[in-house]
Amino acid sequence: MFEREDETVERVIQQLRRPVAIDPGLDARVMREIAQVPFPKRRARLLLPLLAVAAVLATVLIVARPWIWNSASKTDALQFVLVAPQAASVALVGDFNDWDPARAPMQTAHGVWATVVRLAPGRYRYAFLVNGVEWRADPSAPAAKDDEFGTPSSVVTVGGRGS
Amino acid sequence: MILAALLLVTQVATQDPRLERLDPDTRATVVAVLDSARDVGLPVEPIIQRALEGTTKGASGARIVAAVRRLAVDLGTTRGALGTSASAPELEAAVAALRAGATPEVLAHLRDVRRPPLTIALSVLADLVASGVPADSAAAAVLALAPKARDADLVEFRRAIERDIALGAPPGAATSVRLNAGAFVNNSDVSHGNPPTRRSRP
């Protein structure tokens, strides 16, 4: 019984070991077919520029992140108030309006002059110009100690993180 | 393209029409200061604003030029302390802190212990000194709070000290007491975003 099985196995092995006759033109035909398939090449052609653009964008974002982070266009609305019952006019001037009195005239109600300004994060120097001639600091804000022009100024700081 | 954009920005800044408010001699000198600042990568807007402040306040040309030159130098010093990634508002606030008495080493230390932006922390430092707090005490207090305090905490810290001073407390003692009270550090990890827009007082 065992011998018969061995013979069978041996015959199978011999059969498997017989060289298979392959058409000598098969390789050439297969390679020709592969060469004619367009998709992989097209994908690669599209993929490479996309990868390049993505890489450039990623680099720009990484490099510019501190500036983007710091210069996010967030603004706070701040109300500025000066009590000046005798004043005929009061203007708010500062780093946020090019120190131009014409750009920020304040409105009055019974001698209380007020205006609202939207400010991006930063530290701003400012002052009130009363009647076009008299400079006054804001009594409710920190004074600008580094005033180099001989008139009082105040400071307002607008924060960008939980302020 | 970036180079072209930079050149365009440079040209626009050089021809800034706001500077026409200065007299010609002063304008020429201020433009030269701006060019120098721009060449070394310093922000020019604070310098322009200082020149405009001077002319609106009727200061002499010599005084305006001295002010903008001094500001350019100080911006360079603070950038040296805070690094090239510091924003213009941070540099401007750092100049105020520097002029209040904080050393460049204090600024650099603050940069190391607090994530940006540092604008509020630097401003609070300057404002504390302006309120009468000795510069070293103000710097020590802000550096102690800086790692964990939110910007709002720092602003409230300053306001509390100003209230104490207004009530008669010695500035240094008020700072020390408020710092040791420890009520100004928010240990939660929430609220590190911007607050909703609101109307507030300076």
Provide the pLDDT for residue B12. 47
Nearest residue of B to residue A146, measured between CA atoms: B99
pLDDT above 60 for B42: yes
Residue B199 in domain: no
Domain edge (last residue) among B84, B106, B124: B84
In whole angstroms, what is the distance from residue A20 CA to residue B181 CA?
Answer: 91
For residues B22 and B92, state if they share a domain. Answer: no
Residue B16 in domain: yes
Burial environment of residue B197 by CB neighbours within 10 A (0 to 12, 13 to 18, 19 or more)? exposed
Task: Write down all domains in chain A, each with its CATH number in brackets.
Answer: 1-71 (no CATH), 76-158 (2.60.40.10)
Nearest to B64, CA basis, from B37, B38, B27: B27
For residues B95 and B167, state if they share a domain. Answer: yes
Average pLDDT, chain A: 80
Residue B112 in domain: yes
Report residue B11 as tokens.
Answer: 């040209």
Domain edge (last residue) among B50, B84, B118: B84
Provide the pLDDT for residue B191. 35
Q: To which residue do tokens 């230390």 refer? A: B109
Provide the pLDDT for residue B111. 96
- Write the pLDDT tens digit of every residue in A30-53: 788 777 776 555 565 666 677 777
For residues B79 and B124, state if they share a domain. Answer: no
Chain-chain contact of B92 with A70 (C-beta, under 8 angstroms)? no
For residues B124 and B47, state if they share a domain. Answer: no
Provide the pLDDT for residue A66. 47
**Taking the model in full, what pTM does it have?**
0.70
Please report residues of B whose CB lies closer than 8 A to that of A95: 46, 49, 53
B184 vs A144, higher pLDDT:
A144
- Write the pLDDT tens digit of every residue in B155-196: 999 999 999 999 999 999 999 999 988 766 654 433 333 333
Nearest residue of B to residue A64, measured between CA atoms: B85
For residues B25 and B79, state if they share a domain. Answer: yes
Provide the pLDDT for residue B195. 37
For residues B79 and B102, state if they share a domain. Answer: no
Residue B53 in domain: yes
Chain-chain contact of A159 with B89 (C-beta, under 8 angstroms)? no
For residues B91 and B172, state if they share a domain. Answer: yes
For residues B179 and B125, state if they share a domain. Answer: yes
Report residue B88 as tokens.
Answer: 């213009």
Task: Decide if the complex's ipTM is over 0.85.
Answer: no
Provide the pLDDT for residue A71. 47
Report residue A54 as tokens.
Answer: 């993505």
Report residue B26 as tokens.
Answer: 């002063």
For residues B61 and B117, state if they share a domain. Answer: no
Run of H or E residues at B153 = helix B151-166
Domain edge (last residue) among B24, B52, B84: B84
* pLDDT mean over B99-106: 93
In whole angstroms, what is the distance from residue B60 CA to residue A14 CA?
Answer: 110
Alpha helices in B40-87, H assignment, sequence order: 45-56, 61-82
Q: Which amino acid is at B176?
A: S
Residue B93 in domain: yes
Provide the pLDDT for residue A30. 77
Provide the pLDDT for residue B188. 44
Q: Return the top range by mean pLDDT from A6-15, B53-62, B190-199.
A: B53-62
Residue B1 in domain: no
**How many other C-beta atoms are found inside a 10 Å radius of the C-beta of residue A34?**
9
- Write the pLDDT tens digit of every residue in B138-161: 999 999 999 999 999 999 999 999
Report the relative pairing of strands A122-130 and A134-136 from DSSP bridges.
antiparallel
Number of domains in chain B: 2
Residues 58-117 of A with CB under 8 A from B: 66-67, 69-71, 74-81, 93, 95, 98-101, 116
- Write the pLDDT tens digit of every residue in B123-135: 999 999 988 999 9
- Write the pLDDT tens digit of every residue in A119-140: 998 899 999 999 999 999 999 9
Report residue B187 as tokens.
Answer: 């240990």
Provide the pLDDT for residue B137. 94
Question: Is the peptide bond preceding residue B117 cis, with omega within 30 degrees of 0?
Answer: yes
Please report residues of B whose CB lies closer than 8 A to that of A142: 126-127, 130-131, 158, 162, 202
In whole angstroms, what is the distance from residue B76 CA to residue B51 CA?
Answer: 17
For residues B131 and B52, state if they share a domain. Answer: no
Provide the pLDDT for residue A7. 80
Nearest residue of A to residue B67, measured between CA atoms: A148
| Domain containing residue B143 | 87-184
pLDDT above 90 for B76: yes
Provide the pLDDT for residue B94. 96
A128 vs A19, higher pLDDT:
A128
For residues B77 and B126, state if they share a domain. Answer: no
Alpha helices in B83-150, H assignment, sequence order: 88-100, 104-113, 119-130, 135-145
